[in-house]
């Protein structure tokens, strides 16, 4: 036989086997051959593997994003409760490293009222274009500034934070950002003043000259940029699923068998197939990074949350956004913000698709923390109730309990601790 016809026979055999497997698995998913995957399935599995995670893209709006001195300062700030109105709250109060940077609560509560939404992780968020469940910030540094002045979070003011940088972090700050302005005259620079403070703090802010406000704003933005430089290092780590994906790529059935049970493989088959999860939870972070309404009705005391439709205009109007005065980016690089979608029914009640990495360890779930565990999440996807406000992007799955169990078993294979040096998971040594 000529080489070319040998090849044809080989190809024919491959596609016949492929067909056989597809027919079998269509008849009873994964039952007879849990680890047999078609070329298409293998490509999808490979695309979910952490091995395909690209290097972290630079953030042009933060010139110190990859400066290790800034990351060191940000590391200290992340754990420093002096950066709050009453010396009691740090970022790490809610984004707790030993809980995968979440807090285990339905909605965050540090003793001054609950936040409107549930605390998401910060792991891997440096890959995102939008921050918060509604994407109302367009960079990690602009995001970091928001809780510092929120009444139910750090509840301090930007003038106070600038004073604290001068008092506690002058040397590292100046090494990174250059000289601090002289803010020692309390008549020009009230010790606590900011646009979101209490009445007194707001009027103190309003009484400052615009030039002095800007000097404070620059220090404030730099606090965010240092925090972002630290957060950029908190990346997701390897899970058992990623080892399985490697075995699938190598076509190593023995290895696949030792890594995944039949049920887990069936769950994966449903996740990338019949259940359509990869329509939204795709790529190595298991998120498409965009906003969907999946019809969560919320907790009884919750006010209706319109999600992305409000978040989009807030991102556009944020003075610390990519196009603002405090950004280091040349305007043409702010693509996401320049082409932001502000209108459309699909934005109403829509929230950012979260990553599913390590999802088994970050209950409760969803923007409002309304689903207590993975079983409740799967019951929700199975029924796909209608959404209010807006339209749900889901269709009911109508799966059996066995199929839901397989999906859950698969989700648990995504557990994996963040890929960071251990010292970044605790306050810096003094």
Q: What gap in Å lies between CA 399 and CA 322, rounded to an integer?
A: 44
Binding residue for ligand HEC, selected from 347, 407, 409, 412, defined by CB under 6 A? 407
User: Are the beta carbons of 379 and 231 closer than 8 angstroms?
Assistant: no
Structure-token pair, residue 338:
């320049």
Using the contact rule CB under 6 A, the part of the chain among 20-28, 206-214, 363-371, 422-430 near ligand HEC is: 363-371
Minimum Å distance from CB 364 to ligand HEC? 8
Name which of 362, 291, 426, 421 is nearest 122 in CA terms.
Answer: 362
> C-alpha 167: how far from its chain's center?
33
Query: Would you say 122 or 334 has its CB closer to ligand HEC?
Result: 122
Minimum Å distance from CB 253 to ligand HEC? 26
Using the contact rule CB under 6 A, the part of the chain among 174-182, 317-325, 348-356, 420-428 near ligand HEC is: 348-356
Site for ligand HEC in 129-158 (CB under 6 A): 131-133, 140, 143-144, 147-148, 153-154
Number of residues that bind ligand HEC (CB under 6 A): 49
Residue 184: exposure state from Cβ atoms within 10 A (0-12, 13-18, ≥19): exposed
> Interior CA angle at 99 toward 96 and 102, to 5°?
60
User: Are the beta carbons of 41 and 26 closer than 8 angstroms?
Assistant: no
Q: In this structure, is the dihedral angle defined by the CA atoms of residues 364, 47, 294 and 260, taken in order, positive or negative?
A: negative
Binding residue for ligand HEC, selected from 117, 164, 225, 269, defined by CB under 6 A? 117
Work out whether 35 is an interface residue with ligand HEC (CB under 6 A).
Answer: no
Work out whether 219 is an interface residue with ligand HEC (CB under 6 A).
Answer: no
Minimum Å distance from CB 211 to ligand HEC? 26
Q: What gap in Å lies between CA 350 and CA 393, rounded to an integer?
A: 9
Site for ligand HEC in 370-399 (CB under 6 A): 377, 381, 393-394
Work out whether 235 is an interface residue with ligand HEC (CB under 6 A).
Answer: no
Query: For 240, what's the count of Cα atoms within 13 Å in the CB-facing half-sphere?
Result: 18
Work out whether 296 is an interface residue with ligand HEC (CB under 6 A).
Answer: yes
Binding residue for ligand HEC, selected from 115, 139, 222, 403, defined by CB under 6 A? 115
Site for ligand HEC in 81-110 (CB under 6 A): 89, 91, 93-95, 108, 110
Name which of 342, 337, 334, 280 is nearest 306 in CA terms.
Answer: 342
User: Are the beta carbons of 175 and 110 closer than 8 angstroms?
Assistant: no
Q: What gap in Å lies between CA 337 and CA 130, rounded to an integer?
A: 9
Query: Would you say 153 or 217 has its CB closer to ligand HEC?
Result: 153
Name which of 405, 398, 416, 376 is nearest 267 in CA terms.
Answer: 405
Structure-token pair, residue 140:
């990690």
Q: What gap in Å lies between CA 353 and CA 133, rounded to an integer?
A: 8
Minimum Å distance from CB 193 to ligand HEC? 19
Minimum Å distance from CB 208 to ligand HEC? 23
Using the contact rule CB under 6 A, the part of the chain among 32-40, 173-181, 194-202, 346-354 near ligand HEC is: 346-354
Q: What gap in Å lies between CA 304 and CA 19, rounded to an integer?
A: 49
- The residues binding ligand HEC (CB under 6 A) are 89, 91, 93-95, 108, 110, 115-117, 119-120, 122, 125, 128, 131-133, 140, 143-144, 147-148, 153-154, 227, 275-277, 279-281, 292, 294, 296, 351, 353-354, 356, 359, 362, 365-367, 377, 381, 393-394, 407
């Amino acid at each position: 036989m000529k080489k070319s016809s040998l090849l044809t026979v080989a190809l024919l055999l491959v596609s016949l086997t492929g067909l056989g497997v597809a027919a079998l698995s269509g008849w009873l998913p994964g039952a007879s051959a849990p680890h047999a995957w078609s070329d298409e399935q293998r490509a999808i599995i490979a695309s979910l593997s952490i091995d395909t995670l690209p290097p972290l893209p630079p953030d042009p709006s933060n010139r110190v994003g990859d400066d290790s001195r800034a990351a060191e300062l940000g590391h200290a700030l992340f754990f420093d409760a002096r950066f709050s109105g009453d010396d009691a709250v740090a970022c790490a109060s809610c984004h707790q490293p030993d809980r995968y940077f979440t807090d285990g609560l339905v909605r965050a509560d540090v003793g001054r009222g609950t936040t409107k939404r549930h605390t998401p992780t910060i792991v891997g968020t440096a890959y995102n274009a939008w921050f918060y469940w509604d994407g109302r910030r367009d960079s990690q540094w602009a995001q970091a500034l928001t809780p510092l002045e929120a009444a139910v979070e750090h509840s301090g003011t930007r003038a106070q934070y600038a004073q604290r940088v001068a008092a506690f972090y002058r040397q590292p700050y100046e090494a990174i950002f250059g000289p601090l302005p002289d803010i020692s005259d309390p008549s020009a620079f009230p010790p606590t003043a900011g646009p979101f403070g209490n009445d007194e703090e707001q009027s103190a802010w309003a009484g400052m000259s615009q030039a002095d406000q800007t000097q404070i704003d620059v220090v404030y933005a730099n606090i965010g940029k240092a925090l972002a430089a630290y957060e950029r290092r908190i990346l997701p780590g390897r899970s058992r699923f990623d080892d399985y994906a490697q075995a699938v790529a190598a076509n190593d059935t023995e290895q696949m068998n030792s890594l995944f049970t039949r049920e887990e493989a069936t769950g994966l088959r449903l996740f990338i197939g019949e259940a359509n999860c990869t329509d939204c939870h795709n790529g190595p972070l298991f998120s498409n990074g965009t906003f969907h309404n999946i019809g969560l009705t919320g907790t009884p005391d919750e006010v209706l949350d319109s999600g992305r439709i409000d978040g989009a205009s807030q991102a556009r109007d944020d003075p610390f956004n990519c196009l603002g005065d405090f950004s280091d980016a040349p305007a043409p690089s702010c693509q996401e913000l320049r082409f932001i979608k502000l209108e459309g029914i699909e934005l109403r009640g829509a929230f950012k698709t979260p990553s599913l990495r390590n999802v088994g360890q970050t209950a409760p779930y969803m923007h409002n923390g309304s689903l207590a565990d993975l079983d409740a999440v799967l019951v929700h996807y199975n029924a796909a109730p209608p959404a209010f406000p807006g339209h749900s992007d889901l269709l009911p799955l109508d799966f059996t309990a066995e199929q839901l169990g397989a999906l859950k078993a698969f989700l648990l294979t995504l557990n994996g601790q963040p890929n960071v040096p251990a010292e970044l998971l605790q306050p810096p040594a003094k």
